[in-house]
Chains A and B, each alone.
Chain A
Amino acid sequence: MHEVQRAPHRADSYERPIDLAEALELLAEYGADARILAGGTDLLLEMQRQIRTDFSVLVDITGIAGLNSITTANGLIEIGPLVTHNQAVASAIITDAALPLAQACWEVGSPQLRNRATIAGNVVTASPANDTISALWALDSQIELTSMRGARTVPLREFYTGVRRTVMEPDELLTKISFPAMRDDATGIFVKLGLRRAQAISVVHVAVVLTRVDDIVTDAAIALGSVAPTIVSAPAAEAALVGNRLDDAAIAAAAAAAVAAASPIDDLRATAAYRAAGVRIAVERGLGAIAAGAERSQWPDQPVLLGPQDGLLGGGGAIGAVGPNDTIAMRVNGATVSGATRPDETLLDWLRVQGLTGTKEGCAEGECGACTVWLDGAAVMSCLVTAPAAAGSNVVTIEGLAASPDDLHPVQQTFIDHGAVQCGFCIPGILMAAGHLLGDNPNPTRAEVARALSGNLCRCTGYYKIIDAVMDAAGGAT
């Protein structure tokens, strides 16, 4: 059998604790045999690809209320473990006082992924390409780990022990990420070099936080991603800045020095030589933007979320444990639908087994968007959500987008009128993203339409007529 045909790793049971105490009890009970499930966007792929196979219990913490808060007090920002990327993007606390983290979150994946993926998950997955880690690193974050044995706090810079390895014990739950709010004398930026404008894995990324007093850099933190087995600091680059003005000479010196911190490799995305050059350019241009006061210049006024501002995860209610062949129910297109599931079945598979085949599987890895549905008001990739996690929720699929067969959603009609449909396989997912956008923002710009559809691939149309159709549905000029 070919390697790509190997069956995914399967979980035998799914637990959905209703409070932190129960979650910690489950972790204490199962230890290494359990794995925390939150947004699921990494874990389901790791199971699919047999990257993590040493566990049989999924502990879904999304039913626990109170874990999705972003708070600030006494100069400290605290992020709960269920805070999603989009929640951070929409948070004034983060955009005001932790801009590099907001920028990093904004550049992860697509709107659908950002609605599910948690920052804590990004930290725990521990890939050196993970964007938010560098931002949190430069912000000098602390990680709170809690177990039945108590809580401990670990500096993020001491959290990683290698590629996808951390100091977390099997019974521990990441319960908080905290870092100092950037003061008025601090500026920062996150800069990412990818191979495309969305759904891009970093080839190189850089997070910078500087403190300047009377124009002199008094403190500098520079973190580099995708250039070493873990996120790394660039101490020589930091040293090149401290004590100096942020002028061209200091910037050039820091950019050159940053390269020394990188130990990049060749991979499918780029050569090692390219990554070394990329570090230099990203640091140079990032520092240049700070020097020019332009670090915030590209931040969108109204980031396209396709979901609620206060996040999707957390407090979804208790459905208890799910074993093989247990039945779950949820509201789908306004009606209650119930059906058998198993602990790690995807929402996509479950919907399709219920006969709702308008939602398509194009990739099963959250890249193509053909499986986009609305889950409790957020557009999500249903291939990266477990069905048990969606139990009790409100789901809208393409079959529910039109009020009735004779009363199409405006964007369905304009897709017909503009010839925006060719083979049509991507279209249900695109319509669910577009329909959500128009609900959020009745008058989007073409750029916002494109941003909203940046998680959806089409191979036939080239996208132009799709954008025209969405603009027409919005009543805008095409």
Chain B
Amino acid sequence: MTVGDRHSRIDALGKVTGEADFPADLPAEGALHGKVVFSGQPHARMISMDTAAALADPEVVAVFTAADVPVNEYGLTMFDQPVLVGLNATGRAAVASDVSRWEADHIAFVVAESAAAAARAAAAIQVEWEQLPVVADIEAARRGEVLVHPEAGGSNTYYTYRIRKGDMETGWAEADVIVEDTYEVPHQEHAYLQPEAGVGFIDAKGRVTVKVAGQWTYEDLGQILHALDLPADQVRVVYTAVGGAFGGREDMSVQIVLALAAWRLSQRGETRPIRTVWSREESVVGHHKRHRGRIHARWGATKDGRITAVEATGYLDAGAYNYTTNKVLGNMHLTVAGAYDIPNAHIDSHAVYTNSVPGGAFRGFGAPQGAFVAESQMNKLAAALDMDPVELRLLNCLREGSIGITQVEMPAGVSLPEVITGCRDRSEWGARPAHVADVKVFESLPGMPDRIRTGRGFACAYKNVGFSFGFPERCEARVELHGDDEIDRVVLHHGGADVGQGSHTALLQMAAEVTGVAIERVEGVFSDTASSGDSGSASASRLSWMAGNSILGAAEEAAKAWLDGDRPAVGEFRFIPPATEMLDPATGVGQPNFAYGYVAEAVDIAVDLDTGHIHVGSVVCATDVGRAINPTLIEGQVEGAVVQAHGYTISEDLQVVAGHVLNPRYSGYLIPGILDIPDEVVSHILEYPDPRGPFGVRGMAEMPFIPYAPAVVAALHDATGVWFNEFPLTPSRVLAGLNAAATTGAP
């Protein structure tokens, strides 16, 4: 069996020797250097732009502006962002080109003989701006005095989902207890180690080609084709090694401008490649974030623990452009009532435009925000009812055949009860105190056990696998069987991106399994639009699920061709999963997804009552992966997701004020270092097959992230008696919360 093996990653050798090329490592001999120029203006109208001084520099080759972009707009789900903000645009875009709505809007792409010259020229571009009032946050957006996108209608609140289920009057009437609170969820920065970079050039077949790090080659391709108005066969997108993504590379950064420069320069007979590399600060300022938001929730339950009603109103700060906000919002909408059987629900979820950094895809994709609310409410209900929070969840959780919050039956394979009980048992919930090593707030001081309190917290979650809401989901694969009498060699062509999660290794394992060939004789040709079909994105925990199904289909086709005597025998397959639906705009009725993943976590913490420092001890993550294609890779996803969630919960405090990111560096935006992580992460991998997943696979890479924050907050409550409705739980915030509770006499 190849599936289930702890096979070493196929790309590991190159990564431990330094041989693996990331975009900034591509051979630079003879390359020109490009510099994306950010506007620096959260909201301003361009009055004039003078590039003469930049162009006068003898080392400057070109300065590309809005006038050079045939269709000056892009965006993953809405074309609401200019490729380059500027004047004299072609007029073929719906969005006004002359307004900067975000401090990192691009206004020019400078190409020069050296990076220093490009930087010099960027500084020499003279721009005159008319300042417009900055819509700084959700409150300002809702006031609506200034519109960020006047073309989108008369309101900054531009996207809304609703759920109207059951009868709220009945729900409240049946409730013995009600818990109600307003929650603030923070931004999170992806902070992948590799800043954005890439190379643009004309390939041997004359195609405009960009080599970059991304998550979905065909989406990058589509955005380039749209903006440059080129036919599909004239553009090619290739991925190098990708230095982390987590959703942060789903939207465009350097792709379109590199293609623009390669294309426009080739028209002038200049065929040298163009490379561009962003700094860390440019990366943090210049790409989207996990959405910040504010959600009000009111839940009722009977005294024996049955949830009777859920009311919620949530806002996400979309920032200046939609990116994938409408989809992220939908996912928060589906998760804000938790993975529970809710008879009566009234939920409104809104996205608002502001002049802040765009929100977009980030591991969990709206579910962390939704789950923080739902699981905090659930834990407060348990406290109010004096019930065990695990028992309360088991009483209410979705199970096989349950009707979900959108009033349709859950896709088959609901394993939430098993996941919850698995986590309960593995963590010895209710049977032992918190496991936490010595809390080390001060390096030079021994611990102060008298001033430490410990606690345990529990949370669970669900999240969709694959694209939702009626998106035409698909995944293509090509399998070639080489040999004469027997198959000597298998070649898999696949577009799926390996962003670090190890997907290429997992895909080869599946290809080896289905063709019956040893994995050493299976070769992968990946992530090049010239040689692989459209796989869809490495996101939404979908790749193993979708790509596995596409490989199964392609292998079956290839096997038929083999029997027909074809050599090589080639199978091509486009897998299409069950259709999903957009929710009814008035009631939220519909089937938004074809598969889900389920997860539960128990977290042990200690807190220093005087300094507010939290130390996390044992984390037990029970996650149903359906079938572990490669358990080592699965554990890597669990451990990495938990630690990333740990940063989100405790230390990562992105400050965005009046449209400006104030801490765009690792020294100011604190992701966990090796001394900051939980004492242990126990990956409790469950394998309840997804009936439609290849080999039973479920998507899993996002799930362990989702319940962590509410579990930590519950543990902090267990330790101190104080609830926190905001995070990250920085020492300042924790100490202020503890002091406020002490002052008001709360427990």
A4 to B357 alpha-carbon distance, docked (Å): 15
Partner of A422, one of B448, B611, B636: B636
The reply to whether the CB of B632 lies closer than 8 angstroms to some CB of chain A is yes
Give the contacts of A394-441 with B (CB-CB under 8 A). Answer: 397-399, 401-402, 405, 408, 412, 415-419, 421-428, 431
Q: Is the CB of B639 within 8 A of A464?
A: yes
- Is A463 a contact partner of B674 (Cβ separation < 8 A)? yes
A365 near B18 (CB under 8 angstroms)?
Answer: no
Give Cα A106–Cα B675 distance, bound, in whole angstroms: 14
CB neighbours (8 Å) of B245 from chain A are 423
Query: Is A331 engaged at the interface, CB distance under 8 Å to the other chain?
Result: no
The answer to whether the Cβ of A138 comes within 8 Å of any Cβ in the partner chain is: no
Pick the contact of A4: B243, B285, B680, B730 (CB < 8 A).
B285
Question: In the complex, how many residues of chain A place their beta carbon closer than 8 angstroms to a beta carbon of chain B?
Answer: 93
A295 to B655, CA, bound (A): 37
B712-747 to A contact mask, C-beta < 8 Å, 1/0: 000000000000000000111001100000000000
Stretch at the interface among A60-68, A73-81, A217-225, A275-283: A275-283
Considering the complex, which residues of chain A in the window 164-205 have a beta carbon less than 8 Å from any beta carbon of chain B? 189-193, 195-199, 201, 203
Complex Cα distance, B281 from A401, in Å, reads 30
Nearest A-chain residue to B683, judged by Cβ: A464
Q: Once A and B bind, how many residue pairs between them come within 8 Å at the CB atom?
A: 282
B666 within 8 A of A: yes
Output the least CB separation between A349 and chain B (Å): 9
Q: A424-B11, A424-B15, A424-B241 are in contact. Are A454 and B502 (CB under 8 A)?
A: no
* Nearest residue, chain A, Cβ from B665: A365
B241 engages A423 (CB within 8 Å): yes
Stretch from B78-86, B165-173, B191-199, B685-693 at the A interface: B191-199
What residue of chain B has the Cβ atom nearest to residue A419's Cβ? B632
> Is A368's CB under 8 angstroms from B193's CB?
yes
Which residues of chain A in 360-398 are interfacial with respect to chain B, using CB atoms and an 8 Å cutoff? 360-365, 367-368, 370, 397-398
- Interface-forming stretch among B120-128, B253-261, B317-325? B120-128
In the complex, the chain B residue whose C-beta lies closest to that of A292 is B446
- Residue A228 lies at the interface, judged by CB distance under 8 Å to chain B: no
Against B, the Cβ 8 Å flags (1 = close, 0 = not) of A289-306 are 100101101110000000
Query: Is the Cβ of A427 less than 8 Å from the Cβ of B666?
Result: no
CB of A467 within 8 A of chain B? yes
Contact status of A459 and B502, CB under 8 A, knowing A106-B443, A416-B12 = no
Q: A2 to B663, alpha carbons, bound, how many Å? A: 14
A158, chain B: closest CB distance, angstroms: 28
Q: Which of these binds chain A: B36-44, B406-414, B592-600?
A: B36-44
Indicate whether B430 reaches chain A with its CB closer than 8 angstroms: no
User: Closest Cβ of chain B: how far from A304's Cβ, in Å?
Assistant: 12
Is residue B348 contacting chain A, with contact meaning CB distance below 8 A? no
Q: Is the Cβ of B122 less than 8 Å from the Cβ of A197?
A: no
Q: Given A278-B611, A416-B13, A421-B16, A190–B444 Cβ distance below 8 Å? A: yes
Q: Interface code B269-285, partner A: CB below 8 Å = 1, 0 otherwise?
A: 00000000001111001
The contact of A357 among B18, B444, B662, by CB within 8 Å, is B18
Contact with A along B661-682 (1 / 0, CB 8 A): 0111111101111111100110
Q: How far is the CA of A268 from the CA of B655 in the complex (A)?
A: 8
Q: Is the CB of B442 within 8 A of A195?
A: no
The reply to whether B446 and A298 form a contact with Cβ atoms under 8 Å apart is yes
Q: Report A1-28 CB contacts with B as 1/0, cut-off 8 Å.
A: 1111111000000000000000000000
Nearest B residue (CB) for A275: B732
**Max chain A CB contacts within 10 Å: which of B281, B612, B673, B731?**
B673
Q: In the complex the two chains form, is A412's CB within 8 Å of B40's CB?
A: no
A453 contacts partner chain B, Cβ-Cβ < 8 Å: yes
From B15, B242, B672, contact of A421 by CB (8 A): B15
Q: Is A7 within 8 A of B666, CB to CB?
A: no
Residues of A within 8 Å of B195, CB to CB, are: 361-362
> What 1/0 mask marks residues of chain B from 49 to 75 whose CB sits below 8 Å from any chain A CB?
000000000000000000000000000
Cβ of B19: which chain A residues have Cβ within 8 Å of it?
358
B731 interface neighbour in A268, A274, A364, Cβ under 8 Å: A274
B441, B448, B642, B675: the one within 8 Å of A462 (CB)? B642
Q: Is A107's beta carbon under 8 Å from chain B?
A: yes
Min CB distance B173 to A, Å, is: 44
Q: Does A103 contact B (CB under 8 A)?
A: yes
Rounded to whole Å, the gap between the CB of B284 and the closest CB of chain A is 8
A399 CB contact (under 8 Å) in B18, B103, B242: B18
> Which of B193, B443, B731, B735 is A192 in contact with, Cβ under 8 Å?
B443
Which residue of chain A lies nearest to B615 when distances are taken between CB atoms in the complex?
A: A197
B510: Cβ under 8 A from any A Cβ? no
A427 to B446, Cβ gap below 8 A? no
Q: Does B586 belong to the interface (CB within 8 Å)?
A: no
Query: A6 vs B676: C-alpha distance in the bound complex, in angstroms?
Result: 33
Task: Please report the C-alpha to C-alpha distance between residue A362 and residue B13 in the assembled complex, in whole angstroms.
Answer: 21
Q: How far is the CA of A295 from the CA of B735 in the complex (A)?
A: 26
Given that A285-B445, A398-B17, A416-B8 are known contacts, is A425 also in contact with B122, CB under 8 Å in the complex?
no
Whether the Cβ atoms of B666 and A457 lie closer than 8 Å is yes
Closest residue of B by beta carbon distance from A356: B18
For residue A245, CB closer than 8 A to chain B, the reply is no
Using Cβ atoms and an 8 Å threshold, which residues of chain A touch B14?
424
A460 in contact with B640 (CB, 8 Å) = yes
Let me know if B40 and A193 touch, CB within 8 A: no
Distance of A85 from chain B, by nearest CB (Å): 14
Residue B176 at the chain A interface, CB threshold 8 Å: no
Q: With A199-B673, A362-B194, A398-B18 in contact, do A4 and B502 touch (Cβ < 8 Å)?
A: no
C-beta contact mask, B490-502 vs A, less than 8 Å → 1, else 0? 0000000001111
Asked whether A191 and B442 contact (CB < 8 A) given A454-B674, A461-B636, the answer is: yes
B445 A286 Cβ-Cβ under 8 A: yes
A201 contacts across to B, CB distance below 8 A: 667
Encoded as 1 (CB less than 8 Å from any A CB) or 0, chain B from 425 to 454 comes to: 000000000000000111111101000000
A462 to B683, CA, bound (A): 12
Cβ contact of B9, chosen from A192, A401, A412, A421, cutoff 8 A: A421
Does B484 sit within 8 A of A, measured CB to CB? no
Chain B residues whose CB sits within 8 angstroms of the CB of A163 once the complex forms: none
Q: A197-B675, A364-B279 are in contact. Are A425 and B443 (CB under 8 A)?
A: no
A419 interface neighbour in B123, B635, B671, Cβ under 8 Å: B635
B445 with A191: CB separation less than 8 A: yes
B639 touches A465 (CB 8 A): yes
- Asked if B562 lies at the interface with its beta carbon under 8 angstroms from chain A, I say no
CB-based contact B636/A465 at 8 Å: yes
Report the bound CA distance from A416 to B670 in whole Å: 28
Given contacts A273-B736, A281-B610, A419-B633, contact A1 B38 (CB under 8 A): yes
- Residues A425 and B636 in contact, CB atoms below 8 Å apart: no
- CB-CB under 8 A for A358 and B17, given A416-B8, A458-B193: yes
**B548 on the A face (CB < 8 A):** no
**Contact bitstring B444-476, A, C-beta under 8 A = 1, else 0:** 111010000000000000000000000000000
Q: Contacts A268-B663, A398-B18, A415-B16 known; A451 to B675 CB distance under 8 Å?
A: yes
Q: Is the CB of A2 within 8 A of B104?
A: yes
Asked if A270 is at the interface of the complex by the 8 Å CB criterion, the answer is: yes
A271 within 8 A of B: yes
Residues of B within 8 Å of A419, CB to CB, are 6, 8-9, 502, 632-633, 635-636
CA gap between A441 and B440 in the complex, in Å: 24
Q: Enumerate chain B residues within 8 angstroms of A416, measured Cβ to Cβ.
A: 8-9, 12-13, 16
Let me know if B353 is at the binding interface, CB within 8 A: no
CB within 8 Å of A: which of B205-257?
241-246
The answer to the question of A69 belonging to the interface, with a C-beta cut-off of 8 Å to chain B, is: no
Known: A195-B731, A463-B643. 17 other contacts (CB 8 A): A2-B38, A196-B651, A196-B672, A199-B667, A270-B732, A273-B736, A367-B665, A401-B17, A419-B9, A423-B500, A424-B14, A425-B22, A458-B674, A459-B644, A462-B641, A463-B639, A467-B674
Those 3 A-B pairs whose CB atoms lie nearest each other, nearest first: A358-B18, A423-B500, A424-B15
Query: 10 pairs across A/B with beta carbons < 8 Å?
Result: A1-B40, A3-B40, A7-B123, A106-B443, A193-B731, A357-B25, A370-B193, A419-B6, A423-B243, A463-B674
